[in-house]
Chains A and B, each alone.
Chain A
Amino acid sequence: MSTSDRLRAILCASFAVMFGVCTESKAADMFKFGVVTPLSGGAADYGIAFQNGIKMAVEEINKAGGATVGGKNYTIEPVFCDDEFKPDKAVNCGKELSAQHKVRAIMTPSSLAAFPMMGFNQQENFVLMATSQTPKFTAMGNKLAVRFINNTDRTMGPWVELVNKYFQKNGKQIKKAAIMEVNTELGKSWADNFAKAWTKEGGTIIGKASYDANATDFYPQLSTLLPNAPDAIVLTTVCQPSAIVIKQARELGFKGPFINSAACSGEELLKLLPTEQSDGTLLEVGSWAFHEPTIDAFKKAYEEKFKILPQLISGVGYEGTRWLIKSVETAGVVDDATKIRAAMPAALSGLKNMFSMANLDEKGDVDFPMYVGIASGGKMSVFSGTER
């Protein structure tokens, strides 16, 4: 080992300690992109699910010979950076990835990391792909911001209509909803959007209680909501706290349905709760909940590889990676974020994906249809106007 190699190794190691990222410098013809996601801390479960999806896509692409950009072959390499689900860490990650690794695209699975990085992604010249469902993400005029999930502003209306259709079809009178609102940006905007759409459909909101996602006892909130006799309880967050809320609401005698956002995937929820408690929970699901051969094959391969169930965010990470790589191929350059962004609509239109994601517009929004997932008898079914 030469002195400079040793020096580089030491520098690399110290950077790894400081920023949690480190890759060896390898030969050229490597396309790197950044991934800012929680890998430790309370949201690690979610962040690792996203990371796994990306790993699967990268492995697949590299196995097939990598990406072909401008006639040259590139090996794909994601550079992961742990943001611990904290905005300040996300900023460090973003700066580090763009400055040291010169990445031209960063993917993140949360609004929490996306918004602070929007402060500098245009100056630092990288495409910011985020699974932020918050409408604000694409409303701020950021030219390099791309959403690869639904915008709740667009999907909430049709989705609530579908929820009501489902209740009507099953002869249920569900009009009075109580909201358990998690104290995050998405939790609030999702709850507000839901309330708007729900009242427009003729329902009422009879109570709202907010809570911290890290809390363990929800009796205080439920004890204030349940005496108003709601027909349904609306949840706004990931499965784990949702499962505790459902369990405790059932203990307190609530028999009606729960309605939850896409932050919680059905399979995960079913795993956390006994059937009699999970029965009748409705979730926002993407077309990935349908049983189609390619989707089932992906889920099976994921489970075999990582020994855990895939979450919606795993699938999104997988498809997002495929889309990004195709965009780079379409653009024909690896080092120009503006050109990569410009190639993204065309790349998406030719990309068959598990979420029927299509039509990227100027603002950075995509079509991402949402359906109603229903937990019943320990299984998930999907209602898309007709039950499937």
Chain B
Amino acid sequence: MRGRKKLISTILIQQIANGIMVGSIYALIAMGVAMIYGVMSVPHFALGAKAMFGGYVAFFMTAALHQTYWMALAGSMVVLAVLGLGVERWIFRPLTKAPPINGFISAFGLLLVFENFALIVFGSAYRRILSPYDRQMINIFGANLTMQRLLVVLIAIALMVALHVFITYTTLGTAIRAVAQNRRGALLCGIHTERIAGVTMAIGSALAGVAGALIGPVAMVYPTMGDTLIVKAFVITILGGMGSIFGAIVGGYILGLIESLGAMYISVDYKDAFAFAVLVVVLAIRPQGLFGRSHR
């Protein structure tokens, strides 16, 4: 009887560890979605594909250029930040004055374009990112993890803290918040809103890119790897409140934990459905999301 109890608590700890790892990845992408939505009012679906590009950048940097995994992480952030700037400048900026649906459609179109681009250029084969941390096993309170999984969580948390400091204490961060609160007001105060949009896109894309580079060694890298991630990131953004970065972080971990604990206590078969069940419940009770401002 005692053995059985110990077994159950070990599974519980293992599932919590699983949930936190997945939640960290979700949160990274959801933060990007929330920031970009806050500043530009565009639901940026293509962030899923950008996570995929981040994975490929890390793959090529480690496999072809023989860089260390840390360099690959940094590389994926830089490359994706540049891509984010480009997308803002050449795709979203010309649409600023167009009806919101155009931004929505172009974001969705970008996802398809990026995925098929990856399919044509990188091929359909799955790639394995070699990370030195993927072979080291550690045991935390009875849960078995690879170092890589721990690294995912630690880097995600570090990035969240860094983003928080940036948004709260720097002039640029304050400007981003100002534009998110009131675009016209910010413009009247002399804030270059287009430049702010560019910076936001660069940061959001870099976060997605590093998420892809982090999950790469855990799973694998392939053209459609961003699909599930972006769907979950959107559920999280709605759950946390559209535009709320804090909501995205909390929502990410809530979703990760619900998925893995639901898998344990209810059924693994419905693991992916839990996200949507939670979404339905939250929308029914609190339509503005957990941390969203209500618009009345």
Indicate if the CB atoms of B15 and A214 lie closer than 8 Å.
no
Which residues of chain B have C-beta atoms less than 8 A from A216's C-beta? 215, 218-220, 225, 228
The interface bits of chain A over 206-226 (1 if a CB of B lies within 8 angstroms of the residue's CB, else 0) are 000111101111011101100
Q: A210-B269, A216-B219 are in contact. Are A223 and B124 (CB under 8 A)?
A: no
- CB pair A223 B15 closer than 8 Å: yes
Asked if A214 and B228 make an inter-chain contact with CB atoms under 8 angstroms apart, the answer reads yes
Interface contact A41-B215, CB-CB below 8 Å: no
Q: How far is the CA of A224 from the CA of B21 in the complex (A)?
A: 17
- Of chain B, the residue at the smallest CB distance from A277 is B135
B188 near A: Cβ within 8 Å? no
Quick one: which of B200-246 are within 8 Å of A by CB?
215, 218-220, 222-225, 227-228
- Interface size bucket, B side? 35 or more
A253 contacts B144, CB within 8 Å? yes
Interchain CB contact under 8 A, B124 and A48? yes
How many A residues touch B, CB cutoff 8 Å?
29
For residue B42, give the distance in angstroms from its CB to the closest CB of chain A. Answer: 25
Binds A, one of B6-14, B82-90, B165-173, B282-290: B6-14
Q: Is the CB of A227 within 8 A of B268?
A: no
Q: In the bound complex, do residue B224 and residue A41 qualify as a contact, i.e. CB atoms below 8 Å apart?
A: yes
Cβ of A243 within 8 Å of any chain B Cβ, yes or no, is yes
Tell me, rounded to whole Å, the shortest Cβ–Cβ distance linking A295 to chain B: 23
Whether B146 lies near A251 (C-beta < 8 A) is: yes
| 1-53 of chain B: CB within 8 A of chain A | 7, 10-11, 14-15, 18, 21-22
Q: Is the CB of B228 within 8 A of A223?
A: no
**A217 near B18: Cβ-Cβ < 8 Å:** yes
Q: Are B268 and A210 in contact (CB under 8 A)?
A: yes
CB-contact partner of B272 in A45, A215, A219, A240, under 8 A: A215
Are B264 and A223 within 8 A (Cβ)? yes
Interface: B260 (CB within 8 A): yes
Question: A217 — which chain B residues lie within 8 A by C-beta?
Answer: 18, 21-22, 218-219
Q: Smallest CB-CB separation from B259: which chain A residue?
A: A220
The 6 closest A-B pairs by CB, nearest first: A216-B219, A45-B124, A220-B263, A44-B124, A219-B18, A209-B268
| With A211-B271, A253-B144 already in contact, 12 other A-B pairs whose C-beta atoms are closer than 8 Å | A41-B224, A44-B124, A45-B123, A216-B218, A219-B14, A220-B15, A223-B260, A224-B263, A251-B137, A251-B146, A252-B144, A308-B125
Instruction: List 15 A-B residue pairs with CB atoms under 8 Å apart, sorted by A's residue number.
Output: A40-B116, A44-B119, A44-B124, A183-B269, A215-B228, A217-B219, A220-B264, A220-B271, A221-B263, A227-B11, A240-B222, A243-B126, A243-B220, A251-B144, A253-B144
Which residues of chain B have a CB within 8 Å of any CB of chain A?
A: 7, 10-11, 14-15, 18, 21-22, 116, 119, 123-126, 128, 137, 144, 146, 215, 218-220, 222-225, 227-228, 259-260, 263-264, 268-269, 271-272
Which A residues contact B (CB, under 8 angstroms)? 40-42, 44-45, 48, 183, 209-212, 214-217, 219-221, 223-224, 227, 240, 243-244, 251-253, 272, 308
